[in-house]
Amino acid sequence: MSAFLQILVGAVLQGALYTLGAFGLSLSFGVLKILNLSHGDFLMLGGFAGYFAFLYGGLNPFAAAVLVAVLVFGAGVGYYRALLARLPSGSFRRLLVSSVMVTLGTALAIEDLTSFLWGGGSTGIPYRMTSLVWGQTVFPLLRLVLLFATLALTLMLHVFLTRTFLGRAIVASTINREGALVVGIDVRTVAVVTFGLGVALAASAGVFYATLYTIEPFMGLALTLKYLAVIVVGGIGNLPGAFLGGFVIAASEAFTAHYAGPHWSPMVAFIILVLALLLRPQGLLGRE
C-alpha cells in the first residue's frame, strides 16, 4: 500500500509539471487552431535561460521563471508576426498543415542553432529543496510547490479568460471568429497575445523542468508530442482538462514503469493518445 501511495503521489506531482508545460500548447491550438511543433523547443530554451540566470545572475528558479516568461513573450510575439501571421487563411485543414510545416522547420532550426551555440551535452539547474515525510510517503517540496503553482496558474488563467476584456475576446475568437470581428474585437491582436502567452508559459515551465531533469538541445519535439497527448486526452483548449490529462499521462507512466518496467513507460503517453482519438476525440472534459 505504501508503494502504491508513493507512486500515486509522484504521479500527481509529475502531472503538475506536464500540465504547466501543456497550458501554452492548449491555448495556441485551442484558440488559434495552430499546432505549434516548436512548443517544446521554447520549453528547452526557457530551461537554458533559467540555467544561465541561476548560474550567472544568482536568481532562484521562481524568479528566473518570471523573468524568462516576460522575455519569451516578446520573442513569441515576434515569431508569430514574422511567420505564423502570414499563413494562408481558409479551411482548418489548410491552416493546420501550414502551421505544422512552419513550426516544424522552426523547431529544427532552434535545435540545430542551440546545439551549435551550446556545444552539446546536457545540463540542469542544481537547485534543491528538502522533502517532507509523512509516514512512509515522501513529498518532494520542490514538486509540491510546483503543484500549488500550477493550481494557482490554472485559477488565474481561468479568471483571466472569463473576467477580463482581453480574456473574453480570446474566448469569443475561439467560439466564433467572424462574430468576434462583427462586435469589434481585434482578432489579430488577440492572436498575437495568445501565441505570445503560450510560448511564455512553455518557457517558464522549462525553468522548472531544468530543476528536476536535465535539458539538452534536441529534447523539444519529444516534449511537444507528449504535451499534445496531454491536451488531447484532457480536451483541447480546456485548461482544467489539461490538468486532468497531465495526471492521467503521468499516472499511466508511473504505474507502467513500476509494474512492467521503465523501458515501457515512454510509449504509454502515445498509446493513450491513440485511444483518446479513437474513443473520445473531444477529450475527457472537452465538448463535441
Report the distance separating Cα 53 and Cα 32, nearest Å. 32
Q: Can you tell me the mean pLDDT for 39-54?
A: 93
Unique residue bearing C-alpha cell 514503469? 257
Q: Which pLDDT value is given to residue 247? A: 86
pLDDT band at 45 (very low <50, low <70, confident <90, very high): very high
Report field, pTM of the whole predicted structure over 0.85: yes
Tens of pLDDT, residue by residue over 128-184, are 777 667 766 676 777 777 778 777 877 887 788 788 888 788 777 766 767 777 777
Record the cell numbers describing residue 265, joined without a space.
Answer: 513507460
Q: How many CA atoms lie within 13 A of 248 on its CB side?
A: 25
Assess contact for 9 and 139: CB atoms under 8 A: yes
Confidence check: pLDDT of 49 > 80:
yes
Cα separation, 209 vs 199, in Å, equals 15
Q: What is the DSSP letter of 186?
A: -
Is it the case that residue 200 has pLDDT exceeding 60?
Answer: yes
229 has a pLDDT exceeding 60: yes
Question: What pLDDT was estimated at residue 269?
Answer: 82
Contacts of residue 188, defined as CB under 8 A and 6 or more positions apart, other chains included, come to: 85
| C-beta of residue 199 within 8 angstroms of C-beta of residue 24 | yes
**Alpha helix ranges (H) inside the chain:** 2-32, 39-57, 61-82, 92-118, 141-163, 165-175, 177-182, 187-212, 220-234, 239-259, 268-279
DSSP-assigned letters across all residues of 107-145: HHHHHHHHHHHH-S--B-------EEEETTEEEEHHHHH
Grade residue 271 by pLDDT with cuts at 50, 70 and 90: confident
The percentage of the chain sitting over the pLDDT mark of 90, rounded to a whole number, equals 20
Cell digits of residue 273: 493518445
